[in-house]
Structure 1
Amino acid sequence: MALFGSVYHPLTYLYNGASWILCQNTIAPSCVRTSEPEAYRSSPKSTATLARKEMVVTTHHLASKVGEQILAQGGNAIDAAVAIGYALAVVDPCCGNIGGGGFMLIRLANGKEIFLNFRERAPLAATPDMYLDAQGKPIKSLSTQGYLAVGVPGTVKGLDTALSKYGTMSRTQVMAPAIALAKVGFILYDADAKILQQAKSKVQSDPAASAIFLKQGSRVYQSGDRPIQTDLARTLETISQQGVDAFYQGQIAREIASYSQKQGGILQIEDFTNYKVTESPPLRCSYRGYEVVTTPPPGGGVTLCQMLNILEGYQIPKLERTSSQRWHLMLSAMFFAYRDRNTYLGDPDFVNIPVKRLLSADYTRSLRAQIPQQQALSPKSDTNTPEGNNTTHYSVIDRQGNAVSVTYTINSYFGAGVVAGNTGFLLNNEMDDFTAKVGVANSYGLKQGEKNAIAPFKQPLSSMSPTIVLKDGKPLLITGSPGGSTIPTTVLQVISNVIDYGMSVESAVNTPRIHYQGSPNWVLTEPFALPSQTVQQLWDRGYKVVPFVSWGAAESIGIDREMREIWGVNDVRKPAGAAAGN
C-alpha cells in the first residue's frame, strides 16, 4: 500500500517510483529519471476501525467523535448524520458547511430508501450570460470568487428536513456539539493547520472571512492554535433555538442578502424564502449481482451507473488489476459516461433527461461496440486540469441497520471566500458548476452543455455521488467522495476494488486512483497507481497519462451480511479524518 504525501517540486512529480519532469509543457515517459524516497516505500498504519454495532466515518476526527456520541446516546444514523453535518461546518471549514448544499442518501432498516436533495439553487435574478463580457467571453473568477458566485444555500434546510422526518432527537440535541466546538474552539493538528493555511489567498480580500480564518486577521494559523468562532456559534444557536426559519426568513437571510447586494451579488431575501428541499427515490443500478443505490440527477449517479453498466459486459475480474487492458476498458467507460454527462444531464426540473435510455441495455451495448480493441478513443485535446479535494463526504450506520451517505459542498476550497457580516460561515461558489458558456471548461475542466445553462432557481449539475451498495438486500458498502469531477470515478474504483478484486474496504479506499473524463484529454493518475510498463502501454495506446496529486477522500464503511463486523475506513488522503464506532 502506498503512502500518500505532498513532497512535490513544482515541476517534478513523483510517480510510480520515478520523478516525472515537466519538460516543454508536457509530461511524458521520456522525461523519467529513477528516484524513490524511502518514505514512499513504507506503509501507513491501518486507517480501518472495527465495530460490532454502529460506525461513523468523516473527514475530521472531532466530527466523527460527535457522530459516535450521538449514536451512543441512542440517536439513529440520521441524528448522527445531522450532528456531523453541523460539526464539520465548524472543524472543517474548507469543505464542511452551512453556506452550501448537498445530497443525503438514506436507507432505513426496513428497506425504505430516500434521496434528499438540498443542492444550492441559482438566485432568482440569475441570467444565462451573467458571467460573460461584452464579447461573450467568460470573465475570469467572476463565477468562483465573491458574492456573484454564490448559489442559494440548502444545507440547513436539508439537515433539518432529514432530522424532522427520519431522526429521533431534537434539533437542540444534535446541534449542541457543534455549538460547543465553535464557542470553545479546538486545538489544531498539523492536518487542520495545513488546510487553514490554504485559506489565505482565498479569504484575505474579505474582512469578515479573514477575521475568522486568519490569525488576528492577517497571519495563518499553526498547529497547536485554538481558533474560536464566536459568530458561527451565535448563528448555530439561533438555528438551534428558532429553527430553519431563522436561516431562510430571519436575520441570517437578511444579512446575507444585504451584503450580497452591497458587494455586487444578486441574492435577495426571496431566494431564501422560496428555497425548497426535494425528496425522491434514489437511482438504482446493478453490478455483478450487487445493487447500487445512488443519486439521481442532478447528481453523479447516472455517470456512475453508466460506467458500471459498460464494465459489466467484460470479464474485469479475470484481468490483472493494473494491466493496460483492464484500464483501457475502465478509461473507455469513463470517456462515454462523461461525454453523456456533459451532453444530456442537468436539473430534471428544467430539462428532460433520458435516464432510462442512457442506462438501457441496448444503449450500453452500442457503447461497448464503439470501444476499440487496442486504441484510446479520441476526444479533442486541451490543457485544463480538474481540481481536487473541496467537498466533504461522510458515512454512518447505526445498530438498527439504518445507513446514511452524505456528500455536501461549498464547491471550491473555502467557497466564494466571503462571509456575510457577523454570520460566521463561508458562502459557496456553486454557480461555477453551471455552464457559463457552452464549450468552455469550468474549474474542473468540464465542458458542459446547454442543459446545464444558468436559469433562475435552477440547480447546477453535480458530480456528488453518495452511494450504498447492497447484497441480497442488505448494506455491504457505504461510500462517496469529494473531488469535483473525480467523484464518480472514485466511487467506481472503490466498488470495483471490492466486487471485482475482493479487496477489503480499507484496501479498496486507499489504493491509488485514476481519473479520465475525455476533456481535458489527460488520464490523471495518483502516485503508484500503475506499474511503469502499464503506463508505457497506455501511452502506446494513445492515452496521455500524467500524475495528479489532489484527490478526494472516500470515507467509507464496509458491513458483513449479519452486521457482526463493521469496518469504518478513513481515507489516507484526509489525515484529519477518523472512523469511530461502538
Structure 2
Amino acid sequence: MKHINHLFSIIFLFVFLQAIDAAGQTYAKNGIVASSNKVASEIGIDILKKGGNAIDASVATAFALAVTHPAAGNIGGGGFMVFMDSSGTTTTIDFREKAPLKASPNMFLDIDGNLTKGKNLYGQESTGNHIGAKSIGVPGTVAGLYLAHQKYGTLPWAVLVQPSIDIAENGFPLTWSLSRAAAYFETNSPIPFLQDYFKKDTGELTPFGELWKQPELANTLSEIRDHGQDGFYKGVVAKEIVRFMKENGGIITMEDLSRYTAVERNPIKGTYKGYDIYSMAPPSSGGVVLIEMMNLMELADLDSIEFNSTAYVHLVAEVMRRAFADRAEYLGDTDFNVDSPLEMLTSKAFAKKRFEHIDMSKASVSDSTKFGQIYDGSSTTHFSVADAKGNAVSLTYTLEHSYGSGMGSSKLGFIFNNEMGDFNPKPGYTSTSGIVGTNPNLIQPEKRMLSSMTPTIVAKDGKPFLVIGTPGGRTIINTVFQTVLNVLAYDMQVDTAIEAMKIHHQWLPDSIEYEKGLLSPDTVKALERMNHTLVPTNSLGELMGIQIDAKNTIKIGASDSSSPDGAAIGY
C-alpha cells in the first residue's frame, strides 16, 4: 500500500489531468473504461471524448468486444447492465437469453431419463445440454444494448456501432491468447465453424500479430447499425439465424427472435456500514447472493480477523456455503417464479439467523438432498465505465462456455451461446457433484435461465464509489463479493482488492477452491483440520473495476492481471 499511496501522490501533483497506466491501475480526471480488451477500452474512451455518456461508451465497448474478444464478447449471447446516473438513481437492464418456444424440461434427457452426452467444441465429452444447436438460447445482447441506448444514451446509435464495424472490416492485430485459441481449434475442435474461424481468405490461420479481419461479422454489425435491434431480430440476419438452426438441429424460430425483449428492472439493493450496494436481480442470482453474503459479513468482528488468515478463509467459506444453498433452493426467473422470497433473502434479519449457525471451529456439511450449485460457464466478460458527468455502468455478458456452443453461420460471422445448459437439466435430481434439479430453474419456453453474473455498483453518499464485476462462470458471485469486501471492510484500493487472494465455495461440491500461491501451506493444513476440502486453482475471475475518489475528483481504474488482453484506460 505504501508504494501505491506514493504513486497516487505523484500522479495527483504532477499529472493530475492525465491518465496513466502503472502496475495494473489507471488514474483519470474525466472518464475510465476497464474491459477485457485494450482496443475495446480505447473505443469506449473515444466515445466519452466525443461527448457520449457512460451508456454510450458501454454500447460501443460491448460491440467492440464482440469483434476483439470472441470467447465471451458477443452479439450471440446475453447479459446484464447496472446503471447509476449522476444523481444516484440506479436501474438495470436484463438482456439474458431465453429458452425457445419449443423448449421443454426434459429436452436433454434420453429415453432412460439420463442426460445425453457428446463431444463439445473442444473435442471433450460433455453433457448434452451444453452441446449442439439445441443448447442455444435466444440471444439478448443486441436488444439489451439497444434498450439502454434508447432510454439513456445521448449520441446517435450508428456512431456507437460504427467503430466495431471498422475493426471487423479493417482487422486488428491478433493477440497471443487468440492465436493460441486459433491453433487449438484448428487441430482439436470437431466444429467446422471454429476450425475456420481465425483463418484468412487463403485458408491459412491468421498468425499472431497480423491483422485478423471479419468481413461477415462487419456485414451483420452494419445491419444492426442501420436498423437497430430489428437488424438482428428481423430481416436478413434473423432469416439466416433460423436457416442455420433448421439445418443444424436447433429450435429457435423467427417467432422466438421477434418476441424477444430486453427488460428494465429495479436493482437488488443492500447496505454495508454506510455504503449502498446495487446489483442485478433475478434471473441473475448475483445481486441476491452478494447482498446476503455482505449482510452475513457485517455481523462478523472483522477487526479481530486478519485478512487471508485461517479464520478469515473459514468464515468466508461458511458464508458462501449458506448463501449458495439458498440460491439453489429459491432462485430462478421471477417472471415465472413469482414466489421467490427476495426480500427475505436480502434482509438483515435473515442474515442474523444464518450467521447464528456458523461454527468458527469447524466446517459445516453440505447436504446434496436439499440444495445445489451455481451455474454459468467460463465464457463471460465484464467491463466497467465511469464518465466525467458522474454516470457509471457495470456490464457483464456471456456466451456460457468459452466460445459458447462453438457454432455459427459463416454468413453472419459470430458465435452462438450454449446458455440452455444454465437451466437445471434433470427435474428433481440433485447430486453431490453439483447437478441441480430444483423447480425454480427448470426449463420452460421463454424463461430466462438463472445466472451468476454480478455487475455491481457501490455508492457512497448517493454517488458511484465502486464499479465492479468479473467473468468466471461459477465463481463470479464470490469473486465480486470478496473484492467488494476487500474495499469496504479492509480498506484496499480497487487494484489491490482485485489482485488479492480469492476463494470459492458453492455449497456443492463441498470444497474450497483457492488461488495457488496466494494461500500459505500452513493455512491450507489448518483448514483441512477443520474438515474443509481444499482444491487449488490457477485464478478466480478477471475483474474489471473503477473506484471513484470524490474528494480528489479522481477515478482509479484496474484491469485484473489474469486478463491477458485487458486494459483500464482513462483520460
- Report the TM-score, using the length of structure 1 for normalisation: 0.88
In the TM superposition, what is the alpha-carbon distance from 1:575 to its structure 2 partner? 2.2
Between 310-319 and 214-223, the greater mean CA deviation after superposition? 214-223
Within the candidate set 97, 107, 110, 1:120 is matched to 97
Residue 222 and residue 276 in structure 1: after superposition, are their counterparts in 2 closer, same or farther (change >3 A)? same
Between 530-539 and 227-236, the greater mean CA deviation after superposition? 530-539
Within the candidate set 478, 481, 485, 2:474 is matched to 485
Q: Distance in 2 between matches of 1:514 and 1:298?
A: 24
Cα deviation digits, residues 301-353 of structure 1 (max 9, x gap): 10111111111100124311011111111111100111011110000000121
- Does 2:144 align with 1:155? no
SS of 2:556's partner is strand
Residue 551 and residue 71 in structure 1: after superposition, are their counterparts in 2 closer, same or farther (change >3 A)? same
**Partner in structure 2 of residue 14 of structure 1:** none
Preserved contact between residue 79 and residue 396 of structure 2 (Cα < 8 Å): yes
- Does 2:114 align with 1:137? yes
Within the candidate set 531, 540, 548, 1:559 is matched to 548
**Partner in structure 2 of residue 248 of structure 1:** 233
- Does 2:350 align with 1:357? no
In the TM superposition, what is the alpha-carbon distance from 1:512 to its structure 2 partner? 2.4
Q: Distance in 1 between matches of 2:474 and 2:389?
A: 34
SS of 2:458's partner is strand
Between 223-232 and 358-367, the greater mean CA deviation after superposition? 358-367
Residue 69 and residue 450 in structure 1: after superposition, are their counterparts in 2 closer, same or farther (change >3 A)? same
Cα deviation digits, residues 207-262 of structure 1 (max 9, x gap): 34433235679866542132210100000011101221121121111111121122
In the TM superposition, what is the alpha-carbon distance from 1:364 to its structure 2 partner? 1.4
Preserved contact between residue 77 and residue 97 of structure 2 (Cα < 8 Å): yes
Q: Distance in 2 between matches of 1:200 and 1:408?
A: 26
- Does 2:278 align with 1:301? no
- Does 2:288 align with 1:311? no
In the TM superposition, what is the alpha-carbon distance from 1:200 to its structure 2 partner? 4.5
Q: Distance in 1 between matches of 2:315 and 2:532?
A: 12
Within the candidate set 38, 42, 50, 1:65 is matched to 42
- Does 2:516 align with 1:531? no
Preserved contact between residue 190 and residue 222 of structure 1 (Cα < 8 Å): no
Residue 69 and residue 559 in structure 1: after superposition, are their counterparts in 2 closer, same or farther (change >3 A)? same
Preserved contact between residue 477 and residue 558 of structure 1 (Cα < 8 Å): yes
Preserved contact between residue 232 and residue 238 of structure 2 (Cα < 8 Å): yes
**Partner in structure 2 of residue 283 of structure 1:** 268
- Amino acid in structure 1 at the alignment position of 2:81: M
**Partner in structure 1 of residue 359 of structure 2:** 372
Matched ranges for 1:426-465 at <5 A: 426-438=415-427, 445=434, 447=436, 449-465=438-454
- Does 2:172 align with 1:193? no
Q: Distance in 2 between matches of 1:439 and 1:328?
A: 31
Residue 388 and residue 275 in structure 1: after superposition, are their counterparts in 2 closer, same or farther (change >3 A)? closer
Preserved contact between residue 388 and residue 551 of structure 1 (Cα < 8 Å): no
In the TM superposition, what is the alpha-carbon distance from 1:422 to its structure 2 partner? 0.4
Preserved contact between residue 434 and residue 453 of structure 1 (Cα < 8 Å): yes
For structure 1, the 5+ residue unaligned runs are 2-43
Q: Distance in 2 between matches of 1:208 and 1:95?
A: 16
Preserved contact between residue 328 and residue 373 of structure 2 (Cα < 8 Å): no
Matched ranges for 1:503-542 at <5 A: 503-542=492-531
Q: Distance in 1 between matches of 2:248 and 2:202?
A: 20
Within the candidate set 201, 204, 207, 2:192 is matched to 207
**Partner in structure 2 of residue 271 of structure 1:** 256
Q: Distance in 1 between matches of 2:199 and 2:509?
A: 35
**Partner in structure 1 of residue 211 of structure 2:** 226
In the TM superposition, what is the alpha-carbon distance from 1:385 to its structure 2 partner? 11
Q: Distance in 1 between matches of 2:528 and 2:180?
A: 35
Preserved contact between residue 375 and residue 452 of structure 2 (Cα < 8 Å): no
SS of 1:136's partner is coil
- Does 2:320 align with 1:331? no
Preserved contact between residue 376 and residue 451 of structure 2 (Cα < 8 Å): no
SS of 2:483's partner is helix
Q: Distance in 1 between matches of 2:53 and 2:335?
A: 32
Preserved contact between residue 268 and residue 278 of structure 2 (Cα < 8 Å): yes
Q: Distance in 1 between matches of 2:383 and 2:29?
A: 19
Instruction: Tell me the C-alpha RMSD between the 2 structures.
Output: 2.4
In the TM superposition, what is the alpha-carbon distance from 1:112 to its structure 2 partner? 1.8
Cα deviation digits, residues 44-69 of structure 1 (max 9, x gap): 96000110111110000000010010
Q: Distance in 2 between matches of 1:217 and 1:365?
A: 64
Q: Distance in 1 between matches of 2:559 and 2:289?
A: 25
Q: Distance in 2 between matches of 1:376 and 1:216?
A: 57
In the TM superposition, what is the alpha-carbon distance from 1:563 to its structure 2 partner? 5.8
Q: Distance in 2 between matches of 1:457 and 1:350?
A: 9
Q: Distance in 2 between matches of 1:378 and 1:131?
A: 31
Preserved contact between residue 103 and residue 408 of structure 1 (Cα < 8 Å): yes
**Partner in structure 2 of residue 7 of structure 1:** none
**Partner in structure 1 of residue 326 of structure 2:** 340
Cα deviation digits, residues 544-577 of structure 1 (max 9, x gap): 1111125321100011124611111010010201
In the TM superposition, what is the alpha-carbon distance from 1:384 to its structure 2 partner? 10
Between 381-390 and 75-84, the greater mean CA deviation after superposition? 381-390
Preserved contact between residue 389 and residue 553 of structure 1 (Cα < 8 Å): no
Cα deviation digits, residues 391-439 of structure 1 (max 9, x gap): 0000001000000000000110110111124011000000000001146
Between 559-568 and 133-142, the greater mean CA deviation after superposition? 559-568
For structure 2, the 5+ residue unaligned runs are 2-20, 118-126
Q: Distance in 2 between matches of 1:181 and 1:367?
A: 50
SS of 2:128's partner is coil
Preserved contact between residue 200 and residue 214 of structure 1 (Cα < 8 Å): no
Q: Distance in 2 between matches of 1:448 and 1:52?
A: 49
Preserved contact between residue 430 and residue 438 of structure 2 (Cα < 8 Å): no
Between 311-320 and 426-435, the greater mean CA deviation after superposition? 311-320
Cα deviation digits, residues 128-187 of structure 1 (max 9, x gap): 000000111111232212210000001001111111110111111011110010001111
Q: Distance in 2 between matches of 1:332 and 1:363?
A: 15
- Amino acid in structure 2 at the alignment position of 1:264: G
Preserved contact between residue 446 and residue 485 of structure 1 (Cα < 8 Å): no
Matched ranges for 1:32-47 at <5 A: 46-47=23-24
- Report the TM-score, using the length of structure 2 for normalisation: 0.90
- Does 2:550 align with 1:577? no
Within the candidate set 199, 221, 224, 1:239 is matched to 224
Q: Distance in 2 between matches of 1:482 and 1:367?
A: 28
SS of 2:335's partner is coil
Preserved contact between residue 78 and residue 167 of structure 1 (Cα < 8 Å): yes
- Does 2:489 align with 1:500? yes
Q: Distance in 2 between matches of 1:505 and 1:373?
A: 29
Aligned pair count?
539
